Amino acid sequence: MELVDSNKLLSDLDFCVIDLETTGGNHQKDRIIEIGMVKVRNKKISDTKSFLINPMMPIPDFIQKLTNISQSDVKDCQQIEELIDTILEFIGEDIIVAHNTSFDVPFLNSVLTRLKKAPLTNKVICTNVMTKHLIPEILNSNLNYMSRLFNIDHSKAHRAEDDAMATAKLLIIFLDIFIEKGIRKINQLYYPRNKFELDRVHFEKKTSSTNDVIELIKRTENSILLTIKGERGLILAVLPMKEPHLEWEFAKEILESLEWELLTIKLLKPFIEGIFQFNNHFLKYSEDIREKILSYLNNKYLISGENKVLLENLDFIISHHLIADQVLVYSFLHLNTNSNTRSLFKIPAQKKKLYQYLLGQINRFETNQKGRRKHMIHAEIVPLAQSILREKLETERHLYLDRKDIKNDKDGVLSLIERFAAEDRNSFNFPTKHL
């Protein structure tokens, strides 16, 4: 098999990142008021160009507030008819990149159609869509948030040049990630499904060895979940590891005892999620593997005495997610680890939605379940789960919510949730740091 130089493959590509500010979202009626363009060559920013444009129509007040572009800023500027050739010349035959190509490219093509020019035929990449493939559980992928997660300077949001520059920097970060993960074909940039996720790595026995897996585990300090599959995708074992760089010997022992074909390492936060995933497939493992992993986990995490958090006393637990500002909500009123184990929310943007979810779970519990808790955790795993959910963990925190407090003190609960979300200690620094 011919080896592909991933760095050369992507470094040879020419990109032009664009961003438009407009009077609104209607391609037919609205007009461009600013365009920013940034060229990327050899994974470096090589040139920029931007124009304020007179739209020859009023700029709505909310657009002026959003962009900080006033009517007076554009009244003496050139119209799009005078600039379009310069814009097209700058773009050339480059791959066009935008953080929302479904808006920017059709809008620009609409202008070209109106001016009786041919529409763009360039290949197009959307960093917004790319983000959702690389970070599957992200709830908000807008440019502001992505700039924050990847430490990109983005001081003038909703200004075309600054947005285009931030998008270009995000593109370069993504290109380096594709190279790190061994991209083999250019079309994987456009369709990166299930190959380049930042929170997981996939291994195939035909191209990888147990030693390859162990070397990655040795380098990883964040909690992980190891999912091991055999022929036809049969799950052979699921192993949650809180400190993988210290636990690699046990992982090696498990791997060497199995005829594995496919293997996935996935970052975990919170660690209890790994216990729930271990529970999901508990009866599928061979008896030897089941007993070996359970014994290992019990030796590490099982505690005795009064410090356990009993499942029958729990209503809800909220935990920090791997992605900043996102929280996981676990309902212990009806805990099915195969499906409804958790719900994911971004705080503060979705705190009201989270509260409605809590009320819905409570209503189901009180009306349909007649106040009877249900959970789908195997009896052998219950003591382990209760130990891990104890109130004080060395590296993780959980927020425990009582259904009576939720019903009686909405404002207090929402405030508590918002404070909890803001206290996240993202020690792994995901996604800047990733698998």
Residues 233 and 140 in one domain: no
Chosen domain end from 301, 323, 342: 301
Report if residue 429 sits inside a domain. no
**Boundary residue ending a domain (237, 271, 301):** 301
Does residue 428 fall inside a structural domain?
no
Quick one: CA dihedral 342, 224, 272, 250, positive or negative?
A: positive
Of the candidates 159, 163, 167, 162, the one whose C-alpha atom is nearest the C-alpha of residue 73 is 159
| CATH code assigned at 33 | 3.30.420.10
Q: What total number of domains does the chain contain?
A: 3
Which residues lie below 8 Å from residue 288, measured CB to CB, with a gap of 6+? 257
Residues recorded for the chain: 435
Burial 388-403 (b: 16+ CB within 10 A, else e): bbeeeeeebebbebeb
What would the mean pLDDT of 358-363 be, rounded to a whole number? 95
- Looking at the predicted structure, is the pLDDT value of residue 1 above 70? no
Residue 130, domain member (yes or no): yes
Give the tens place of pLDDT for each residue, 18-31: 999 999 999 889 99
Rg, Å, the chain Cα set: 26
155 falls within a domain:
yes
Residue 276 forms part of a structural domain: yes
Q: Is residue 138 part of a domain?
A: yes
- Please indicate, yes or no, whether residues 37 and 134 belong to a single structural domain of this protein: yes
* CA–CA separation, 197 and 177 (whole Å): 10
Q: Which residues of 237-260 are buried (b: 16+ CB within 10 A; e: fewer)?
A: bbbbbbebeebbebbbebbeebeb
| Same domain, yes or no: 134 and 281 | no
66 and 111 co-located in one domain: yes
Domain boundary among 246, 281, 301: 301
Same domain, 41 and 160: yes
Indicate whether 73 and 163 sit together in one domain: yes
- What contacts 255, CB < 8 A, 6 or more positions away? 210, 213, 214, 228, 263
What is the average pLDDT score of the chain?
92
Q: Do 11 and 45 have their domain in common?
A: yes
Q: Quick check: 180 and 134 in contact, CB under 8 A?
A: no
**CATH code, domain with 206:** 3.40.1440
CA distances from 241 to 19, 163, 300, 409 (A): 43, 40, 10, 37
Same domain (yes/no): 218, 155: no
Alpha carbon distances (Å) from 251 to 74, 273, 313, 317, 391:
63, 18, 34, 29, 28
Band of residue 2 on the pLDDT scale cut at 50, 70, 90? very low
**Residues 130, 216 within the same domain:** no
What token pair was written down for 53?
A: 């444009």
Closest by CA position to 168, among listed 63, 50, 325: 50
Average pLDDT score over residue span 231-256: 96
Of 156, 162, 254, 171, nearest to 213 by C-alpha is: 254
Residue pair 19/164 in contact by the 8 Å Cβ criterion: yes
Query: pLDDT tens-digit profile of 310-325?
Result: 888 899 999 999 999 9
Least confident of 288-292, 339-343, 430-434: 339-343
Residues pairing with 345 in the sheet: 327
Query: What is the rounded average pLDDT of the residues 166-190?
Result: 95
Quick one: 252 and 388 in the same domain?
Answer: no
Identify whether residues 83 and 127 lie together within a single domain.
yes
Predicted TM-score (pTM) of this structure: 0.92
- In this predicted model, what pLDDT tens digit does every residue of 396-430 receive, in sequence order? 588 999 999 999 999 999 999 999 999 887 778 89
Q: Residues 289, 417: one domain?
A: no
Quote the domain boundaries for residue 246: 200-301
Whether 99 maps to a domain, the answer reads yes
Q: Are 46 and 166 in contact (CB under 8 A)?
A: no
Q: Is residue 351 included in any domain, yes or no?
A: yes
Closest CA to 138 of 389, 397, 350, 357: 350
Task: Evaluate the omega torsion of the peptide bond into residue 119 and state whether it is cis, within 30 degrees of 0.
Answer: no
